[in-house]
Amino acid sequence: MGCVNVTADHTGRWETSPLAPGHPEASALLRQYFVELVGRYYDRPVTGAEVDQVLLDEPSDDLVVPTGYFLVARRDGVPLGCLGVRVLDPDTAELTRMFVHADARGEGVASRLVAAAERAARDVLGARVIRLDTRKDLVEARALYIKHGYTEIPAYNDSPYADHWFEKRLA
């Protein structure tokens, strides 16, 4: 699948590599992502049944080549973050499913994932532009995307959960 980025830092050895969304490690990360995302949306803990329903309503199985790509970040072999790339059209990809476990936040994991996803979008999926949508309550995510050169654009989809849309041209 390519697009492997291995780096080392003071917090341990990090590796960002592709993984099928149906793999047990990827499935566990996606479940954690939705637990946090849905919980923040409703401002309360979510039930297992609610997460199960969201996983059915918002499938990630298209995040495999040629329709997408799914990345997992591991510290010392432990999966602690993920990010998906979805093909929107031949020139445009979309970032989706950004998640970093609370124990790994502040260590640059999200930046590693964004950089690896951008390379995959360009080099593996052939995209020249990458987009994303996010919610107004996900302040940290918006700051991350702006830091990485994304600019706010008009809505490109009709997601009922999106308040902000961003885009970046890939070099």
pLDDT by residue (tens digit) across 123-169? 999 999 999 999 999 999 999 999 999 999 999 999 998 999 999 99
**Which CB contacts under 8 angstroms, 24+ apart, belong to 59-64?**
60/21, 60/26, 60/30, 60/84, 60/96, 60/97, 61/21, 61/22, 62/86, 63/21, 63/96, 63/97, 64/20, 64/21
Give 25: exposed, middle or buried? Use CB within 10 Å, 0-12, 13-18, 19+.
middle
Mean pLDDT rounded to a whole number for the chain: 92
CA dist., res. 168 & res. 145, Å (int): 9
- Mean pLDDT along residues 30-43: 95
In this prediction, residue 141 carries a pLDDT of 94
Residue 90: per-residue pLDDT: 96
Q: How confident is the model at residue 171 (pLDDT cuts 50, 70, 90)?
A: confident
pTM recorded for the entire structure:
0.90
- Where in the chain are the domains? 5-169
Residue 7 has pLDDT above 60, yes or no: no
H-run or E-run covering 42: helix 24-42
User: For residue 87, what pLDDT band results from cuts at 50, 70 and 90?
Assistant: very high
* The pLDDT of residue 15: 95
Mean pLDDT over 37-52 rounds to 94
CATH class, domain 5-169, is alpha beta
- Residue 85's nearest CA partner among 152, 16, 6, 8 is 16
Residue 8 confidence (pLDDT) above 70: no
pLDDT of the residue at 12:
62
Question: What is the number of other CB atoms lying within 10 angstroms of the CB of residue 66?
Answer: 10
